[in-house]
Every structure is written in C-alpha cells, then in structure tokens.
Amino acid sequence: MARKVKMRIWRGDSKNGDFKDVTVEANEGEVVLDVIHRVQATQMSDLAVRWNCKAGKCGSCSMEINGKPRLACMTRMNMYGEDENITVTPLRAFPVIKDLVTDVSFNYKKAMEVPAFEGPEDLKPGEYRMQQVDVERSQEFRKCIECFLCQDTCHVIRDHEENKKSFAGPRFFIRIAELDMHPLDRLRNRKKKAQEEHGLGMCNITKCCTEVCPEHIKITDNAIIPMKERVVDVKYDPVRWLGSKIRKREGIE
C-alpha cells in the first residue's frame, strides 16, 4: 500500500543551505527514517543523515520533524496527514555539518566536566550490595540513550549560544542526579556543584526536555526539581549536612 508523500529536506553545510522538495514513496508501517533512506537511495545519494540501530536504542537519528525534536526511527509516517508536507531539518541548537547532521561535540565536552562515579574504597569487586529499590532511581536516568533531543529543545541554549559555556543541559543534570542518587557513590556536593558549576539554576522547569525524551525519563520531575530542592534543603538542615559529610567526601584526589 505505497503512497506518495511530499517531504521538504534541509540541505546544506555550515555556510549555506536551502530546503529541497521531494516526492517519495512511503509504505505501510514506515517511519520517517525509512523514507529519508529511500530518498537517499533513489534521489540524493549524498544526503547526510546519522542513524544506527533503527529501533530507538542508540539515539543517533535525532533531527527536527515539522519543527519538533524527534528520533526519525521512532516517528511513524502515519502520524502525518495524507497531504501533509513533512519538513525535516537538523537539530537547531548545534552547528550544522551537512544536511541533517550536526556537530554535537558540545555534549561530549560537557560529559567531561561531570566528575565520574567514585566507589567505596573498602569494597572489592563482587562485594557491592544494593537493594533494587535503591538503584531504581538512578536506573531511570541510565536509560538515557544520549540522543541529545533534550539538549536541543532546552530554551536556555536553543537560541542562546552564549549560555552554552555555563550550562550543561538536561542530559547532564540527569547524569549528575544519577550519580548523586547512586547508593555507593562517595563524592559529596554533586547537587551544589550542579547549581554552581553546571548551571542548574538557569533551568526554570518548563519541562520541554521531559516532553521530547524518547525514553520517557522524567527529567524535570525526578532529577532537576529534586536536585534544586535538596540544594536548598541541605543548606539549612544541619543533620543532613553532617550526614553527608560523614558518608561522602569532597573532590577526587
């Protein structure tokens, strides 16, 4: 049951670019990435697009479809009307390399700024004991497939290049939250540092990131808001402050 669909594809590089209109076949059950691949195989052999797993697990085919940040492999064609013109563009928050491919190195730089997991020194491999209920909070954030759609949609950086320097973005707030909530992580003050060094305070919880997350991670409710609240809590609660002092230590030697 093939039908013809109209697509507007942004084509260009870091300097110039324009929309190209194509008419292409779409079959039952197909996703936007299938149709882009058909365009590539039959009409534009050098059309640049990133993809890997085609099953929503690797987070490579992030792009904007009719202006919304989405994974092209998980966006069904039947979401759009028969005569609708489907517009595909590269992620807006990152510099274009070519066509639908952007330079996402910003995210890898930010990853480098989050201190790694620091496990207990007195436990050998195989001696870790944790309860399922205690690891589940961090496990939610470890579902992240690093598609960077949350980074792309976040208005703090989407149209404000100048904020990128001091703002790590939602993906790295959940990374910090994940480590902070890890039952055996020893590093202290992750929340405080999120606020002071990674720009947590710049987030004003509009939940755009949660809306676009293909893994349905509750970024704002489960990571950002609890961290914001606890930054305040810890400052004013002497018992919790002392507790955190005993269990955790500051910085890595």
Partner 1 sequence: MAKATTGIKASDIKFDRYRFDVVVIGAGGAGLRAAVEARQAGLRVAIICKSLFGKAHTVMAEGGAAAAMGNVNENDGWKVHFRDTMRGGKFLNNWRMAELHAKESPDRIWELETWGALFDRTKDGRISQRNFGGHEYPRLAHVGDRTGLELIRTMQQRIVAMQQKDKKEFGDAEKYIKVFAELTITSILKDGDKVSGCYGYWRESGDEVLFESPAVVLATGGIGKSFKITSNSWEGTGDGHALALKAGSALVDMEFVQFHPTGMVWPPSVRGILVTESVRGDGGVLTNNKGERFMFNYIPEVFKDKYADNEAEADRWYKDQNNNRRPPELLPRDEVARAINAEVKAGRGSEHSGVYLDVSKRLPADEIKRRLPSMWHQFKELADVDITEQPMEVGPTCHYVMGGVKVDPDTAAAYGVPGLFAAGEVAGGMHGSNRLGGNSLSDLLVFGRRAGAGAAEYVKGLKGKSPEVSDKEIEKAHDHINDPFDRDGNENPYALQQELQNITQDLVGIIRTESELKESLEKIESIRERSKKVRVEGGKLFNPGFHLAIDLENMLLVSESIARSALEREESRGGHTRDDYPKMDPEWRQYNHLTTWSGKKVEIEAEKAKMLPEELLSLFEMDELKKYFTEKELAKGGK
Q: Please classify residue 119 by burial: count the beta carbons closer than 10 Å to its beta carbon, then call 0-12 exposed, 13-18 middle and 19+ buried.
A: middle
Question: How far apart, in whole angstroms, are the C-alpha atoms of residue 42 and residue 19?
Answer: 18
Q: Where are the alpha helices (DSSP H) in the chain?
A: 32-42, 105-113, 132-142, 149-153, 155-158, 170-181, 190-196, 208-212, 225-236, 238-247
Is residue 47 at the binding interface for partner 1, with CB under 8 A as the rule?
Answer: yes
The CA-atom distances, in angstroms, between 32 and each of 44, 73, 92 are 16, 6, 18
Identify the residue among 68, 142, 160, 245 touching partner 1 (CB under 8 A).
142
Question: How far apart, in whole angstroms, are the C-alpha atoms of residue 6 and residue 201?
Answer: 43
Identify the residue among 22, 24, 111, 234 touching partner 1 (CB under 8 A).
111
Q: Please classify residue 24 by burial: count the beta carbons closer than 10 Å to its beta carbon, then call 0-12 exposed, 13-18 middle and 19+ buried.
A: middle
Measured from the CB of residue 158, what is the shortest distance to partner 1 in angstroms?
21
Q: Which is nearer to partner 1, 62 or 153 (CB)?
A: 62
Measured from the CB of residue 18, what is the shortest distance to partner 1 in angstroms?
16
Backbone dihedral region of 237: left (phi > 0), alpha (psi from -120 to 50 degrees) or beta? beta
Which window, 87-95, 119-127, 160-168, 201-209, contacts partner 1 (CB under 8 A)? 119-127
Question: How far apart, in whole angstroms, are the C-alpha atoms of residue 118 and residue 251?
Answer: 10
Question: How far apart, in whole angstroms, are the C-alpha atoms of residue 126 and residue 129?
Answer: 8
Is residue 132 at the binding interface for partner 1, with CB under 8 A as the rule?
Answer: yes
Identify the residue among 130, 205, 232, 242 touching partner 1 (CB under 8 A).
130
Q: Which is nearer to partner 1, 164 or 175 (CB)?
A: 175
Measured from the CB of residue 34, what is the shortest distance to partner 1 in angstroms?
5
Is residue 125 at the binding interface for partner 1, with CB under 8 A as the rule?
Answer: yes
Which window, 36-44, 83-91, 190-198, 238-246, contacts partner 1 (CB under 8 A)? 36-44
Give the position of tokens 């517009």: 87
Compose the 163-182 pattern: x for residues touching partner 1 by CB under 8 A, - for all others: ----------------x--x
Is residue 74 at the binding interface for partner 1, with CB under 8 A as the rule?
Answer: yes
Identify the residue among 5, 7, 9, 31 touching partner 1 (CB under 8 A).
31
Is residue 80 at the binding interface for partner 1, with CB under 8 A as the rule?
Answer: no
Is residue 9 at the binding interface for partner 1, with CB under 8 A as the rule?
Answer: no
Question: How far apart, in whole angstroms, are the C-alpha atoms of residue 85 and residue 81?
Answer: 8
> Residue 9 corresponds to which tokens in the numbers above?
């594809």
Contact positions vs partner 1 (CB under 8 A): 13, 27-31, 34, 40-42, 45-60, 74, 76, 97-99, 101, 104, 108, 111-112, 115-117, 119, 125-126, 128-132, 135, 138-139, 142-146, 179, 182, 185, 252
